[in-house]
Amino acid sequence: MGIEALFFDLSGVIYSGLRPVPGVVERVNALRRRGYCLRFVTNTASQSRDYVLNMLTGMGVALTPDELFTAPAVAAQWVRSHGYRPFLLVSPNVVGEFDGIARDDPDCVVLGDAGDALSYANLNRAFGLLLAGAPLVGIGYNRYYHDGEDMKLDAGTFVHALEWASGREAVIMGKPGADFFAAVVRSTGFAPQQCLMVGDDVFGDVEGALRAGLQACLVRTGKYREGDEGRIAGRFAVLDSAADVAPERVVAQ
């Protein structure tokens, strides 16, 4: 079995800042013409799906809405399919993903990049729900991020804190969560080992994909730092850029 589907991380892989990585858009469109199934997967929890879709289209990436998987949208789909009523600690920009889901008398906690809404009072409310048996859905599991000026605590730190306090394990929607990768794989109709994740984050993209049974490719753009390929175990390809992706050379293991 060879590779049938390619999953591309966005920031640092397709574009860096707001500019496309040279040659990547052309390569992605060429892979589509060659018949590969394409998916675009991002943990971004501060921008709506429509915003990301418009940005990709504006850069010349040919894609349909159902090929784009943002962590908040996948979290909303998980909540919807399980019939939960979420207590949302997310950015106002992504609340819209949860439209149509009842939120009164919540029995589930969804925690993302919520900024100042991550108050002691709100975290205690979430903690009380967890103790009463509500599941915790984490949008991403990153410890921190750089906001352009400073390092800021990311959602993962608060998800981890609630896990530690409650003794419960979160469902991580977003890379490196296995449930998240599984949702994207399911949409392709292929087996995990027929899917290749292309990313610049050796933990979130590459290690997460390998753990979920996918193939993986680390690219030396975006957040890649010298030596990253040595930080994890497992077999994966390393390329200078997603413009060099050649799935016919990857053999499913």
Residues that bind a copy of itself (CB under 8 A): 114-121, 123-124, 127-128, 131, 143-144, 150-154, 157-158, 160-162, 164-165
CA 93 to chain centre: 16
Cα dihedral sign for 34, 211, 108, 146? negative
Provide the minimum distance between the beta carbon of 144 and a copy of itself in the complex, in angstroms, as a whole number: 5
Closer CB to a copy of itself, 110 or 114, in the complex: 114
Closer CB to a copy of itself, 101 or 153, in the complex: 153
Closer CB to a copy of itself, 165 or 191, in the complex: 165
* Helical H segments across the chain, by residue range: 24-33, 49-58, 71-82, 120-131, 155-166, 178-188, 208-211
26 contact partners, CB below 8 Å, separation of at least 6: 243
> Residue 132 phi/psi, 5° resolution?
-85, 0
Closer CB to a copy of itself, 117 or 232, in the complex: 117
Provide the minimum distance between the beta carbon of 164 and a copy of itself in the complex, in angstroms, as a whole number: 5
Closer CB to a copy of itself, 27 or 223, in the complex: 223
- Strand, coil or helix: what is 19? strand
How many Cβ atoms from other residues are within 10 Å of residue 102's Cβ?
Answer: 11
10/13 Cα distance (integer angstroms): 5
163 contact partners, CB below 8 Å, separation of at least 6: 136, 169, 170
